[in-house]
């Protein structure tokens, strides 16, 4: 099991906006937040919103369609979705890499 301290350190070391952009997502500033096309589905408009002050992202598009709550999370959750277990990468390996 990964300790809460290790998870907190991984979050603190990685700026969410920079991490998402480094994965090929073009973000545009909209007020104090950023928007872009979500990479987790075939997006035709900017449904991905990144809140830099909170270090949190949320998809308002197909990721959240029909969901009881919006799909989103921190840098670890974005990396987990970007590099799913099907690729053979575990959550622990993602946190270690961050």
pLDDT tens across 79-89, in order? 988 877 656 77
Q: What is the pTM of this model?
A: 0.83
Q: Residue ranges per domain, the chain? A: 4-97
Structure tokens at 88: 């053979």
pLDDT tens across 26-51, in order? 999 999 999 999 988 888 889 999 99
pLDDT tens across 51-70, in order? 999 999 999 888 776 666 67
CATH number belonging to domain 4-97: 3.90.580.10
Asked whether the beta carbons of 70 and 56 are under 8 A apart, the reply is no
Q: Measured between alpha carbons, how far is residue 13 from residues 5, 18, 75, 76, 82 in Å?
A: 12, 11, 10, 11, 18
């Amino acid at each position: 099991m990964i300790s809460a301290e290790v998870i907190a350190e991984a979050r603190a070391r990685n700026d969410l906006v920079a991490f998402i952009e480094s994965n090929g997502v073009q973000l545009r500033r909209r007020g104090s937040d950023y928007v872009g096309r979500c990479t987790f589905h075939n997006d035709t408009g900017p449904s991905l919103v990144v809140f830099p002050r909170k270090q949190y992202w949320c998809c308002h598009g197909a990721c959240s369609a029909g969901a009881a709550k919006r799909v989103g999370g921190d840098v670890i959750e974005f990396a987990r979705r970007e590099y799913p277990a099907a690729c053979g990468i575990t959550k622990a390996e993602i946190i270690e890499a961050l």
